[in-house]
């Protein structure tokens, strides 16, 4: 990842967890993967560190004092689409869905494999960076919907769309073959680019988020549900 001319700068990761052991495990694992790590032990400190450090990704525990992780995510999403990977000691589906619906990019349940978490972080960072930009088309068009994969920009008509990296990846998948009905498994495989298992409800949550953002831009027919099969791109304002 390049930030200053041709120099290579390691990704900056903010770890937020009130358990010092968890922070140590993540600091060591992410550090070995070549990432620069900063830490916060509660939600209030996380917001301060985020404002000061502007990390490339946040690993964010859900259950914390001084604002829980969900509230931290809500506040960050007011001004930033920085990727967020949630950690939680609870494996309840409603927690995962809520975390994703308010803007999380991924969700890992404790106890977790540090190796898998590093893999997930790398996938999110690659997706946020646009993946293989040299192979990306200059622009995808469908109706009034436009995606520029190289610039990571999305618009409906004259209205910019603020999408997370994963939402952008899902929408791009649908736009590459707008007449095709994609199963949840196909969307999962194309969007995650790794053998990571996520539930159907997780994909549904991301689709709901994309629909809501397009509806706010006055596109009410962005993604169609084909019951029992999956999803396909709607007309998106096409005549």
Q: Which of 166, 162, 172, 168 is nearest to 141 (CA)?
A: 172
Q: Based on the structure, what is the number of domains in the chain?
A: 2
The answer on pLDDT for 204 being more than 90 is no
Q: Could you identify the residue written with the tokens 């903010």?
A: 14
Cα gap 23→38, rounded to integer Å: 10
Q: Are residues 66 and 144 in the same domain?
A: no
Tokens linked to 42: 């509660």
Contact 20, 41 (CB under 8 A): yes
Identify the CA nearest to 81 among candidates 171, 163, 191.
163
The tens digit of pLDDT for each residue in 185-194 reads 888 777 765 4
What are the structure tokens assigned to 165, written together? 């990296």
> What are the residue ranges of helices labelled H in the chain?
20-32, 43-53, 69-77, 93-101, 114-128, 165-176, 184-192, 200-216
85 and 100, same domain (yes or no)? yes
Look at residue 196 and tell me if it is in a domain: yes
- pLDDT of 159 above 90: yes
Q: What is the DSSP secondary-structure string of 55-109? A: -SEEEEESS-SSS-HHHHHHHHHTT----EEEEES---HHHHHHHHHTT-SEEEE
The answer to whether residue 79 scores a pLDDT higher than 80 is: yes
Query: Of the candidates 95, 128, 161, which is a domain's last residue?
Result: 128
DSSP H or E stretch at residue 38: strand 36-40
Report the relative pairing of strands 57-61 and 84-88 from DSSP bridges.
parallel
State residue 75's pLDDT score: 92
The CATH number of the domain holding residue 32 is 3.40.50.2300
Where does a domain end: 128, 161, 189?
128
In a domain, 239, yes or no: no
For the cut 80, the answer to whether the pLDDT of residue 127 exceeds it is no
Last residue of a domain, one of 128, 146, 164: 128
| In the chain, % of residues over pLDDT 90 | 38
Quote the domain boundaries for residue 162.
133-233
* Mean pLDDT (whole number) for 5-34: 87
């Amino acid at each position: 990842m390049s930030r200053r001319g041709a120099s290579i700068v390691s990704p900056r990761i903010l770890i937020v967890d009130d358990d010092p052991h968890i922070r140590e495990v993540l600091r060591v694992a992410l550090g070995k993967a070549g990432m620069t790590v900063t830490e916060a032990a509660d939600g209030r400190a996380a917001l301060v560190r985020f404002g000061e450090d502007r990390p490339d990704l946040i690993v964010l525990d859900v259950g914390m004092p001084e604002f829980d992780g969900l509230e931290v995510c809500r506040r960050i999403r007011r001004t930033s689409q920085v990727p967020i990977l949630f950690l939680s000691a609870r494996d309840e589906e409603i927690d995962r869905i809520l975390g994703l619906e308010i803007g999380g990019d991924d969700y890992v349940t404790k106890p977790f494999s540090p190796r898998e978490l590093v893999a997930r972080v790398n996938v999110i960072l690659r997706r946020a960076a646009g993946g293989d930009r040299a192979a990306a088309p200059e622009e995808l068009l469908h109706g009034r919907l436009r995606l520029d994969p190289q610039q990571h920009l999305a618009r409906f008509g004259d209205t910019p769309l603020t999408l997370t990296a994963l939402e952008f990846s899902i929408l791009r998948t649908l736009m590459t073959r707008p007449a095709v009905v994609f199963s949840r498994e196909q969307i999962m495989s194309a969007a995650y680019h790794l053998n990571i298992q996520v539930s159907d409800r997780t994909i549904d949550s991301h689709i709901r988020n994309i629909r809501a953002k397009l509806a706010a831009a006055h596109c009410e027919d962005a993604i169609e549900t084909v019951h029992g099969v999956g999803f396909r791109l709607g007309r998106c304002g096409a005549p």
